[in-house]
Each structure stands twice: as structure tokens, then as C-alpha cells.
A and B are shown apart, each in its own frame.
Chain A
Amino acid sequence: MDGQVLKLWKLLAISGLLLLQTGCWDSVELNRRAIVSGVSIDKGLTEDKRYSVSFQVIVADEITGKNSRGNAPVALYKGSGRSIYEAFGNASRQSARILSLGHSKVIIISEDLAREGIRDLMDIFERESDMRLSTLVFVSRGQRAEDILSVMTIFGKIPANDLVQKLETGNRSFGYNFRIEVDDVIRGILAKEGGAIINGVIVKGDLEAGGTKSNLEGIKPKAILKNAGLAVFKQDKLMAFQDGTEGMGLSLIHNKQKEYPLLLELGKNESATFSMFKVHTSVTANAKDPEHPVIYISTQQQAALKEYNGSLDISKSSVLRNWEKLLSEETKKEIDAAVKAAMRLNSDYIRFNETVNRVNPKGWKRVKGRWDTIFTQCEVHIKVNTLIRHTEMRTRSLKSSGEGVE
């Protein structure tokens, strides 16, 4: 018995040692990694280099400061190839460390590439286990995508993070851009009748200076990253950018806008500006006759008066009632603009198809193949309900008080 136990222990010890000998296959020390914070994809310059891909790599030493040499906090590695992975390989060859995609926050696709179609290039972002589905996707509007990644930013040293935060802050109260992640894009592409929506982004200012430290030296930055419109797709091909009212309407339809500003023109030189909040939109349909579906878009929102330069007495509820109506009209206009734009582009990125499918799956199957024609003739009813709870910290405006004294 003793002998046997001893043998067993020996066996275990030997196998343990053998295991140790073989090493740690997947273990990678942190200082062997180059953390990629953002990826940009441009159209390759030549035919056999279809994609030109840039990787924004974080230089940790420059960010935490202690050993900082005062250089740029990120570096851009660029590679091109027939596929994204080939380009990735080419870029990796220039890097002393392993390019690690696990922390990439943004993917930026150039506009010209997006116009040709993004179906092929999204595959890797879904397949690769290192990538996150929650990575944000952008389209660089009219500019090369790599330029977006090479702008020094004011807050936080990593430009990709800056972009993410701008998007989130904007979506919080003013902008109409909202978080659009890899899986949102993929679902958009997969919808045969519809298409993806992707945030647009541009660099405003001096592109050359944006990439150097001189960008941050003055009080006025020479170049600044900016969200710009929503790129709408027909399946995987970019059709147009939606700005202003159309963009806002689009965001509203998708129920992504929780707060946004709205200005009421009240005659000449008089206006009231509101912040709309608690915005909720729902889309339903009556598709008893799937050939002629009726879409109902209904929005509930509350408004807070932020700025007023008119002379009306707003301590009267009748005034507010009237404004509520006007505000509803205004919102309705925005939504309507978005719907009209979608119909004009003949791409159902506003997801009426899903709505119809939901209420009448059998009917939907019948019209599925012809949705293109049906969609543009959909009857759309928009109902907006606005509520002004209060007028914030003051009642009458400066103007009306001043006039009163005179």
C-alpha cells in the first residue's frame, strides 16, 4: 500500500512538473500588450489593398505621468490589406507589442467605405472574441477615418474616450446622436427592408495641427472632434446624413432621446426656448390590411422653460396650454421630417417593418417582398403630448417686466 501511494504521488508530481514545463500558453504579461483604444477603417489606396486600418494605441506611461516623456498619449499604427485582419497583421508588424483589441471603444468607418457597403467589414468585429459588442461605431463624415483618431483632446488623454464621452454627454441633453454599438449596426444590416444607423463624426478645424501637442497649447483648440449627424443606411450602404430636425426626429422615433432643447418662435424677435425631458416615444401599427398599414407614432414629453424674451404673462395657464400645443406641433414636425426622409430614401431604418411584423405576422409574410413599395406609402399618424410643468425659477420675463415699468 505504501508503495502504491508513493507511486501515485510520484506520478502526480511528475505530471505537475511536466505541466509547468509546457508553460503558460495564453498568459500575456500586461507589458507585452499594446492596448488599442480605437480602430478606424479607410478605403485602401490601391485595388489589392482594400482596407487601410489604423489602430489608436494607448501609451500608458504618457498618461499616468510618472515616467512621462511628454509625448503624445496615444500612437497610431496603420496597416492595409485585403481584409481587416490582414491589415491588422500589417499594423501589428510595426508594433513591438501585441495589439490587443479588448478595450477598443470606437470603430470609425470612413464615409466612402460606408457608401460602398459595410457588410464585409463588420464580420470581424462580431467574430473576434477579443472585441466587444458594445464598441461604438462611427462614420467619419467626408474625412478620412484615421484623421478622427489622430486628434489630441482636451479632457482625458485618449481621443477615443473623448469621442465616447461627447456622444454620451450630448445624448443626455442636447445632441441627437445616441449610442450605436456593433450589434445595433449588425441588426440594422441584417434587416432586409431597413438599414443601419450610425453616428457621424468630424474633426472641426485644422487637421494638421490636431495631431500634435500644439492643438492643446492655446486656449482655443485648433481642432476638435465633433459628432455630426446620423448616417442612415439602406441595408449596409450609406445613403445620407440626417442633421437638424431630421436627425432629432430619427432619434425621437427610436426612443433614444430623453432630453432635447426646442425653440418656439413667437412672432418677431420673440421666442421661448424649452428643454424637453422625460421624452418617450412608442410606435404601433394597425396592419389589418398589410398592403396599407397605418403607423401610429406617439410621443409623451414634458417641457421646462429655459429662456423667454416675450411679453406674455406666463403665470396664466392658458398661455402654457397654448405653448404645449405649439411644442407638440414642433416635435411632430421633427418626427415627420425624419419619417419623410426615410421614405424619400426608401430605406426602412425607422423600423416600421418590425412594427408591422409584430402586429400582423401573417400579413407581414405576404408583403415582405414588396415592402419597398408599401413602405413609402405608409400612412403615418404622429401624436405628441407635451406638458409644461412649471416655468423654472422666474415667472415673467425681463422684457415684460421692463416694459411694465416704462
Chain B
Amino acid sequence: MREIRIGSVHFFSLVLMFELGTALVVNVGMEAGRDAWIAIFLGCLVGMLVYTGYNYLFKLYPDLPLSGYTRAILGKPLGAVVVILYAVIFLNGAGRDMRDGSALLVMAALNRTPILIVAAMMILSCGYVLHKGLEVLARTSFIIMVGVLLIGGIITLLMFFSGEMEWSRLQPLLGDGIKPVALSVIRSNYMFPFGEVFCFTMLMPYFGDKKRAVWVVPSAILAAGLIISFTALVNITVLGSDMVERSPFPLLATVSKAALSDFIQRLDVLVVMLLIIGVFFKVAVYYGAAVIAISDLFNLPYRTLIIPSAIIILFSGMLDSRSFVEHLEEGAEMLTFVYPVFTIVIPVVLIIVAAFRNYRSRSRPG
């Protein structure tokens, strides 16, 4: 594989698209009720904090992906085990997101299409783009991002002009105190979607401008946080927190309220498009991270891994649960118990070991 270098703008857009992913459309942080948007914003800040840890490791090993420096820090055998775990979690992440997306799509638009076909189409497209390379993925994300922001702008304008927004629905601010907000952040909000940025540790070495890398990802997280938070805010002002809480995709319901006379009605399909795009990038990034991890660990060519990984993702995603409800339950557990191990515990261990070694190697000659 030839050398990949992803430009700052494209890396930014890839992170942004990944973060927006499904989070834009589905119900995020609604444990906090009408203060969900605050919870989301706090989650975003926590996500940025978590990211500084990865940044530290990236600065130590600017040319290695997570799978590389894990082995460098923990030693070959232990490192390899950890990398395999990471590869599994990446594959799982891709599978879960694909399941999420296709289930939502089947619910919202394609009621009678077999979910397997929907998922297969998705993974085929992801595979094709990844086959073209990560650089192509990043560049594609940039163009799509422009489209997504355009759609977002149109929807926002429509919402403002349709007069459906009632700001009083946001009040009282923090009416139940900070506790539900904090709880929501701790339970899952910082992890979904902001903690998930951990799979970019696999892509960081491909960053073209290493100096700027430190800032690009956090700013993308922040931008994503602001956008998702704003979306939640719009949802609540339009529908009221009760309805938002009970709907799996509040944005769809919100947008269906936007109507300018008889001409512009039911723009929900735009939201469905946003969902498709979001799921695509989410799956593609996880999928790419998994493929890089495996190819790095076993020294296999990147492209030969694409089809086997696709098959694993497709079937693991499809077989992981019987229904969407079960899938969501599982997801909640994953977010509280499994993901933190990979996004926080292992990186923290890595940081400590690396810092210790760094300290020792520096102090020894001195």
C-alpha cells in the first residue's frame, strides 16, 4: 500500500462525520430530559479530555497507530493480545453501528426490505470506499460534510421559519438540578458518540501535518458536540422533552413538523439521508480501524483483509441480537462496561507505562 497522507481539512471532516454519525439522528442524552443538550455538550467536553490522553500517546509515537505503540509499550506478546482485543472491538463497533443504522432505516423508511440486504449494501459500499483507501474515505467525507452541513442549514432555517420552535419548552433550565445531567454524561453520553473517537488512534499516523493533528481532532469533536447539542435543543423546542424521550429518532419527528405552506412538506427523507451518511462513515471508520489493526499485527496486505472483515462485520452485526430493542439493551451495556475499558482503562495503562519508561530512559543517561 502506498503511503497515505490525509490533509487536516479532510481529517477534520472525517472525525466530524464520524461523530455526527448516528448521534445526530438518534436520541442522545435524553436521560437528562429537557437539559439533554447540556448533557451532550458536557459529554463533548469530557470526550475532548479523553482525547488528550490519545494525543499524548500520539506525540510519543507519531508514526505508529494504536496497534503499533501498544506493542511497543507493552512488549510484543502482551501487546499483540491487546491489539487483537482492539481489532475485535473495532469489528464489533462496525457491526453494531451497521446494525443500528440498518435497523433504523428499516424502521423509518424501508419497512419491508430484509435488514440483511440493507446491511449488505452498506458494508459493500464501505468496502468499496476502503478499498480505494483511507485517503479517499477522508476526501469523500469532506465533500459529504459540505452536503450534510447544507442539509442541516436548510432544515434549521425551515424550523425557524415554520414557527414550530417554542423556546419556553427548554425552561426551566436545569430544573431538576445538575444530577440527571451528570448521570447521563457518566452513563453513556461521553462515550456515545464522543468517546468513540478512540478508533482514530488507528488513523492518526496517516495525518499529513503532524503539528496540526493535535488540534484538528479536538476541534472536530467540539464542532460535532455543538451540532449535536444544537440538534437536541431544536428537537426539544419543537416537540417538548416528553415526546423526544419516547422517540428513537426525534429529529425525524422534528423535521416532519417543518412545513412551509403546502409545498415543502415531509423533509424527513433528508433526515433519513443524514442517517445513511452518518452510519456509513461510522461503519467505515470502525471497519478501516479494524482492517489496519489486523494488517498491522499480522503483517497482511491491507486490501486482502477487506472482504473477510466485511463478512465478519456483516454477520456479527446481524446475529448479535434478535431485535432492535435487544440490540439497544446490549448497546447500553457495552457503552457502560466494555467501551470504557478500551477507551479509557487501556489507554491510561499505556500512558502510565509509556510515561514511566520515558522518565526512566531520560533519567538514566542524566
A and B touch in the complex (CB under 8 A): yes
A residues at B contact (CB < 8 Å): 19, 22, 25-26, 102, 126, 129, 132-134, 181, 183, 186-187, 190, 354, 357-359, 361, 364
Is B109 among interface residues, defined by CB-CB distance under 8 A? yes
* Chain B residues, CB < 8 A from A359: 172
Partner of B110, one of A22, A26, A354: A26
* Chain B residues, CB < 8 A from A134: 256-257, 259, 265
Is B311 among interface residues, defined by CB-CB distance under 8 A? no
Determine if B108 and A129 form an interchain contact, defined as CB atoms under 8 angstroms apart.
yes
* Chain B residues, CB < 8 A from A186: 242-243
Determine if B243 and A183 form an interchain contact, defined as CB atoms under 8 angstroms apart.
yes
Max chain A Cβ within 10 angstroms of own Cβ: one of B110, B253, B265: B253
Q: What is the CA–CA distance of A312 and B240 in the complex, to the nearest angstrom?
A: 50
* A129-B107, A183-B257, A358-B168 known; A26 vs B176 contact (CB < 8 Å): no
Q: What is the CA–CA distance of A190 and B253 in the complex, to the nearest angstrom?
A: 17
* Chain B residues, CB < 8 A from A361: 172, 175-176
* Chain A residues, CB < 8 A from B243: 126, 183, 186-187, 190
Q: What is the CA–CA distance of A359 and B239 in the complex, to the nearest angstrom?
A: 21
The 7 tightest CB contacts between A and B, nearest first, are A361-B175, A361-B172, A25-B112, A25-B113, A358-B171, A190-B242, A26-B110
* Chain B residues, CB < 8 A from A364: 175
* Chain B residues, CB < 8 A from A132: 256, 265-266
> Which of chain B's residues has its CB closest to A358's CB?
B171
CB distance from B256 to the nearest CB of A (A): 5
> Which of chain A's residues has its CB closest to B242's CB?
A190
Q: What is the CA–CA distance of A22 and B112 in the complex, to the nearest angstrom?
A: 12
Q: What is the CA–CA distance of A357 and B239 in the complex, to the nearest angstrom?
A: 18
CB distance from A360 to the nearest CB of B (A): 8
23 contacts between A and B (CB under 8 A): A25-B112, A25-B113, A25-B117, A26-B110, A26-B112, A129-B107, A129-B108, A129-B109, A132-B256, A132-B266, A133-B253, A133-B256, A133-B257, A134-B257, A134-B265, A183-B243, A183-B257, A187-B240, A190-B240, A357-B175, A358-B171, A361-B175, A361-B176
Determine if B175 and A25 form an interchain contact, defined as CB atoms under 8 angstroms apart.
no
* Chain A residues, CB < 8 A from B108: 129
CB distance from A7 to the nearest CB of B (A): 12
If over half of A's interface residues share one DSSP class (helix, strand or loop), that class is named, otherwise mixed; here it is helix
Q: What is the CA–CA distance of A181 and B175 in the complex, to the nearest angstrom?
A: 27
CB distance from A98 to the nearest CB of B (A): 12
Is B111 among interface residues, defined by CB-CB distance under 8 A? yes
* Chain A residues, CB < 8 A from B266: 102, 132
Max chain A Cβ within 10 angstroms of own Cβ: one of B111, B117, B175, B265: B175
Determine if B240 and A25 form an interchain contact, defined as CB atoms under 8 angstroms apart.
no
If over half of B's interface residues share one DSSP class (helix, strand or loop), that class is named, otherwise mixed; here it is loop
Q: What is the CA–CA distance of A19 and B108 in the complex, to the nearest angstrom?
A: 22
> Which of chain B's residues has its CB closest to A184's CB?
B240
- Taking A102-B266, A129-B111, A361-B175 as known contacts, 6 extra A-B pairs with beta carbons closer than 8 A to each other, sorted by chain A number, are A25-B112, A132-B265, A134-B256, A183-B257, A190-B240, A361-B176
Is B114 among interface residues, defined by CB-CB distance under 8 A? yes
CB distance from A223 to the nearest CB of B (A): 26
* Chain B residues, CB < 8 A from A102: 266
Q: What is the CA–CA distance of A181 and B239 in the complex, to the nearest angstrom?
A: 11
Q: What is the CA–CA distance of A75 and B256 in the complex, to the nearest angstrom?
A: 27
B residues at A contact (CB < 8 Å): 107-114, 117, 168, 171-172, 175-176, 239-240, 242-243, 253, 256-257, 259, 265-266
* Chain A residues, CB < 8 A from B109: 26, 129
Partner of B117, one of A22, A183, A357, A358: A22
Q: What is the CA–CA distance of A183 and B259 in the complex, to the nearest angstrom?
A: 14
CB distance from B300 to the nearest CB of A (A): 17
Q: What is the CA–CA distance of A25 and B112 in the complex, to the nearest angstrom?
A: 5
Q: What is the CA–CA distance of A183 and B242 in the complex, to the nearest angstrom?
A: 11
Q: What is the CA–CA distance of A190 and B112 in the complex, to the nearest angstrom?
A: 32
* Chain A residues, CB < 8 A from B259: 134
Q: What is the CA–CA distance of A358 and B173 in the complex, to the nearest angstrom?
A: 8
Q: What is the CA–CA distance of A190 and B240 in the complex, to the nearest angstrom?
A: 10
* A25-B113, A26-B111, A129-B108 known; A357 vs B256 contact (CB < 8 Å): no
* Chain B residues, CB < 8 A from A26: 109-113
Q: What is the CA–CA distance of A358 and B167 in the complex, to the nearest angstrom?
A: 11
CB distance from B291 to the nearest CB of A (A): 18
Q: What is the CA–CA distance of A67 and B108 in the complex, to the nearest angstrom?
A: 35
* Chain B residues, CB < 8 A from A22: 117
Q: What is the CA–CA distance of A183 and B165 in the complex, to the nearest angstrom?
A: 13
CB distance from B121 to the nearest CB of A (A): 9
> Which of chain A's residues has its CB closest to B261's CB?
A168
> Which of chain A's residues has its CB closest to B113's CB?
A25
CB distance from B220 to the nearest CB of A (A): 32
CB distance from B162 to the nearest CB of A (A): 9
Determine if B114 and A25 form an interchain contact, defined as CB atoms under 8 angstroms apart.
yes
Q: What is the CA–CA distance of A132 and B254 in the complex, to the nearest angstrom?
A: 10
Q: What is the CA–CA distance of A181 and B111 in the complex, to the nearest angstrom?
A: 25
* Chain B residues, CB < 8 A from A190: 240, 242-243
> Which of chain A's residues has its CB closest to B240's CB?
A187
* Chain A residues, CB < 8 A from B110: 25-26
CB distance from A58 to the nearest CB of B (A): 15
> Which of chain B's residues has its CB closest to A255's CB?
B166
> Which of chain B's residues has its CB closest to A186's CB?
B243
* Chain A residues, CB < 8 A from B256: 132-134
Q: What is the CA–CA distance of A102 and B108 in the complex, to the nearest angstrom?
A: 13
Determine if A183 and B172 form an interchain contact, defined as CB atoms under 8 angstroms apart.
no
Q: What is the CA–CA distance of A187 and B241 in the complex, to the nearest angstrom?
A: 9
Q: What is the CA–CA distance of A247 and B111 in the complex, to the nearest angstrom?
A: 43
Determine if B117 and A187 form an interchain contact, defined as CB atoms under 8 angstroms apart.
no
CB distance from B29 to the nearest CB of A (A): 19
> Which of chain A's residues has its CB closest to B247's CB?
A126
* Chain B residues, CB < 8 A from A181: 257
CB distance from B187 to the nearest CB of A (A): 23
Partner of B172, one of A25, A133, A358: A358
Determine if A187 and B242 form an interchain contact, defined as CB atoms under 8 angstroms apart.
yes
Partner of B253, one of A183, A357, A358: A183
Q: What is the CA–CA distance of A341 and B175 in the complex, to the nearest angstrom?
A: 30
> Which of chain A's residues has its CB closest to B252's CB?
A129
Q: What is the CA–CA distance of A393 and B291 in the complex, to the nearest angstrom?
A: 79
